[in-house]
Chains A and B, each alone.
Chain A
Amino acid sequence: MSNPNVSEARVKIGVIGLGRMGLSHLSILRPHPGVEIVGISDTSRYLLDVMRRYTGLPAYRDHRELLERGRPDAVVVATPTGSHAAICEPILESGVGVFLEKPLALTVESGERIVELAARHAVTTQVGYHFRFVPSFEEARRWCRAGHIGRIHHFHVAAHGPAVVRPRGTTWRARKSEGGGCLYDYASHAADLASFVFGQPDNVGGSIVRSVFSKDVDDEVYANFSYAGGLTGQLSANWSDATQRKMSVRVEIWGTDGKITADRQEAHVFLRNDPPAESGLRAGWNVRHVPDLIAPVRYYVRGEEYTLQLDRFVESVGLGRVDDDYSFASAHATDVVLDRIRRDADAQAGMGADTR
């Protein structure tokens, strides 16, 4: 069934780290007609045996062997955050593209290093901030940029869900040293969405990063952002909210001429005045639901955004695209915000503001 001409043109991809996200990415990439999966790797021997036997994919315990034997054009790295920089450095140096799970790195310094390496070697990079591909958030961003709601003066971005609703947990997500915690997980999505729409804040203040149930990591994060132009914003992330079925992200944006709200299902904009006719909007409430905003993707596993982000990456590798809204550099900007929230929260706690 393989057409040699087609397979010649296919992008060769390896997947490193077969946890929840790695397997999810693999399931979306493998059916891509322009992709050939040249190997997978993980440290679990059992998982590799099962995958080798049932999927027929070459499976390696050491990702370096995957790189050597599979000769991928690009890899997906979905390992715990603490290992990102060490795994990525030699890969970037060899000119192989990288799609990395978020957040970029455990420290700002190690993140800087891989951003710099990617730039030096002109490598295609992307980070798995999939909310950038959710059509309702993209629509909200377009409305903001078109100026439909006037001068934007405040926003609120929230990520709430039920990841940790009791005091246990045995995976790396429960360990600070490996990048666990709500700050690097839920809050990173909220901070990244804020960066996507408004850019990086100039100041971060009033931050709270604390535990509700977890022993070693934080479960809730709150912070205030301010921007040079006068815009302010608030971030709220709480992964111990049992009322949600899964992580739910929501943004509210206030402008002098209207207001925008968006979540994964819908985007609403209220306009005080009639906008230009070509906007397709009217004074009063305008509602866009996901079925209005999205065309079918080529393959769906768990949400269009997961497919769209990987398709974008495959396309970028093919085109040799190196720097855009989705690259390591953009994710590093979010890492910097997270780091500032953490430092600010530590400083606040040092001043006795911690309520525990």
Chain B
Amino acid sequence: MSLQPPIDNVLFGDNQFFGINHMSQDKAREQAVRFQDTEAIIDVLDSALDEGIRTFMCTTHERIGEVCDHMRERPERYADYVFFPCMPYAHKYNDAVAELGMMGALRRFAPQGTARALIAGGKTAAGRSIDSVVRLLVDAEMKMFRGLSAPVVFLQNVVVDFLLGLGFDDAFRVFAEHVRDEYDAAPGFITMNLPPLVDTLERLGIEQPIICSNINKVGFRMCGGVDVYERALSEGRCRAIAMSVMASGAIPPAEAIEYVASLPNIEAIVFGASSAGHIRETKRIADSYFAARDTRE
């Protein structure tokens, strides 16, 4: 029943475009200034595409909508291009919850009247309403990708880890089913807590889930510890995509990628970069280690 789309070894990420840098706030600001025009983002995506990186794993930030428009208008250039949307763009909702409260935020983002009707439905409607809310939110976030290829749709780590921690497991099932039924896509999950997430998804019947997680040689944000991750990976119970491979620059690229490519069951790495030179270099290193691994296998 599960969809298993192919995933390239090297995926392009988007943190650098939106002022996110786990190392330095100054660097984050520099990047925010550089990428305030969407054209600058597209230039970098084009450089990556020229190097053969044709998957963009991106937040559903409103500016990604502009990137989508650009690509939709040029189908010949971007015929093979693939998006892995990561939703939601959490700050939008977080700010709304701070400003309007939990229920107020729900009212703002759900179509007019829907949220009110759901809440008014009370206890008996509680179950149905959460299903509807998850679906409504996914649909709202997916609008920008209409007509483009999006074979894997991810839930962002802040949401995944929050729901996982609460034990709100059903939301994962609703998300997975909706993404599959409505978008013909595989569900993906970003997490800082890979081992317990794999257990939970298996229990829900989501087999071989696509999971993107920090995986790096120094154990940066690999919660529970590197050993627990290595064990979970060796069991082959998920399709792992490694992010923060260089731990925000703490590990040199070759050493970083060599480690990740040496682990079992890593399907891909996702990385972000701002210059053509940096993209080319990282892609070259990744290709060589993944090729060496595939030969070994």
Contact = CB atoms under 8 A, between A and B. Distances in A.
The winner among A31, A164, A168, A298 for most chain B CB atoms within 10 A is A31
A245 interface: yes
B130 A24 contact: no
Contacts of A264: 25
B195 to A, nearest CB: 10
B100 interface: yes
Contact of B20 (A245, A297, A300): A245
A162 B96 CA distance: 11
A227 interface: no
A301 B23 contact: no
Contacts of B221: 296, 300, 304
Given A246-B91, A296-B219, A265 B126 contact: no
Contacts, number: 144
B166 A30 contact: yes
B263 interface: no
Interface stretch (A43-51, A105-113, A271-279, A315-323): A43-51
A248 B23 CA distance: 14
A148 interface: no
A26 interface: yes
Q: Interface residues of B toward A: which range?
A: 35 or more
B119 A291 contact: no
A24 B166 CA distance: 9
A171 B98 CA distance: 7
B103 interface: yes
A291 B167 contact: no
A289 B27 CA distance: 13
A169 B96 CA distance: 9
Contacts of B226: 296
A297 B220 CA distance: 10
Given A291-B248, A301-B162, A301-B165, A49 B122 contact: yes
A245 B19 contact: yes
Interface in A294-311: 294-302, 304
Interface string B84-106: 00000001001101111111100
A299 B23 contact: no
A199 B223 CA distance: 33
Contacts of A122: none
Contact of B162 (A24, A168, A265): A24
Contact of B91 (A44, A57, A174, A245): A245
A300 B250 contact: no
A265 B193 contact: no
Contact of B193 (A168, A290, A294, A300): A300
Contact of A46 (B25, B122, B158, B196): B122
A54 B127 CA distance: 8
A206 B98 CA distance: 30
Contacts of A44: 102-103
Interface residues of A, number: 53
B104 A26 contact: no
Contacts of B104: 170-171
A55 interface: yes
B219 A295 contact: yes
Interface in A133-173: 162-164, 168-171, 173
A250 B28 CA distance: 15
A289 B122 contact: no
Contact of B166 (A23, A162, A289, A304): A23
A46 B165 contact: no
Nearest to A47: B102
Interface string A22-60: 011011111100000000000011110111011111000
Given A28-B165, A291-B220, 10 more contacts: A26-B165, A31-B193, A171-B99, A174-B99, A264-B25, A266-B25, A290-B23, A296-B221, A296-B222, A304-B221
Interface of A: 19-20, 23-24, 26-31, 44-47, 49-51, 53-57, 162-164, 168-171, 173-174, 245-246, 248, 250, 263-266, 289-292, 294-302, 304
30 contacts: A26-B165, A26-B166, A27-B165, A28-B165, A44-B102, A45-B123, A46-B103, A46-B126, A49-B126, A50-B129, A51-B166, A54-B130, A55-B167, A164-B99, A171-B99, A245-B18, A245-B19, A245-B91, A246-B91, A250-B25, A265-B22, A266-B25, A289-B248, A289-B249, A291-B247, A294-B220, A295-B219, A296-B223, A297-B223, A299-B193
